Amino acid sequence: MRLFPGGVLLLAMSVGLSTTAAAQATAMPSFNAPYRAFTRSEIGISLSFPKGGATAFEGVYRMASGKFDLGFRAGILDQDNADAVLLLGAEARQRVVTHTEDFPLDGALILGIGGGFSSGDSRVIVPAGLSLGRRVQPKDSKISIVPYVQPTGTLIAGNGSSDFFFTLGFGSDFRLSPRFDARISAGLGDLEGVSLSAVWVH
């Protein structure tokens, strides 16, 4: 799918509540804005609903170092007709694009590694994506919004086989106060789901 700069933000906002998605270090439909909301660190919780009737609960922690930040995820995927899966992952985000008059979006490279671990069925997950978006500050409002799009390729390997998945992720981060973000992400592609997060920033 080819996306032109002028239409990326509109497209991201129009499908931000879609129920198809997914990727990232634990293969849940949780994506990243092109830049961090925090100065030093953030901590949060994420609730995801991947396709198939499962529910995932994850804790998330991120820390900053210049334009680079590193995040860690851990949680449980509760499946209706199978064993629960332990989810562990790490994600790195590096700012690589700054908006100009010719290109209106900011961008960051997203790389991760993680896994899903259960009895007899453990998998390694390696996602790589490019997040593109821009912070929007409504007039006379203390709330700001970062809509973004994140095309992502994900390699999932385990039990003697491997597969490559492509997902076009979408999301919006809502800065509701100087210390609190609410986030939603979803997308289009090989994997499906939706994710909601509450994050406290420092």
pLDDT tens, position by position, 35-60: 898 999 999 999 999 877 899 999 99
The answer to whether 4 touches 172, Cβ cutoff 8 Å, is no
- Residue 98 above 60 pLDDT? yes
Which residue matches tokens 């259960």? 118
- Residue 4 above 60 pLDDT? no
Report pLDDT for 106.
96
Burial of 17 (0-12, 13-18, 19+ CB in 10 A): exposed
Q: What is the pTM of this model?
A: 0.84
Distance CA 197, CA 190 (A): 22
The CB-side HSE value for 115 (13 A sphere, CA atoms) comes to 9
Q: What is the mean pLDDT of the chain?
A: 86
Report pLDDT for 96.
95
- Residue 20 above 90 pLDDT? no
Report pLDDT for 80.
82
Report pLDDT for 171.
96
Q: What is the pLDDT of residues 56-96, one digit of tens each?
A: 999 999 999 877 999 999 999 998 888 899 999 999 999 99
Q: Largest alpha-carbon pair distance within the chain?
A: 56
- Residue 138 above 50 pLDDT? yes
Mean pLDDT of 2-20: 36
Report pLDDT for 67.
78
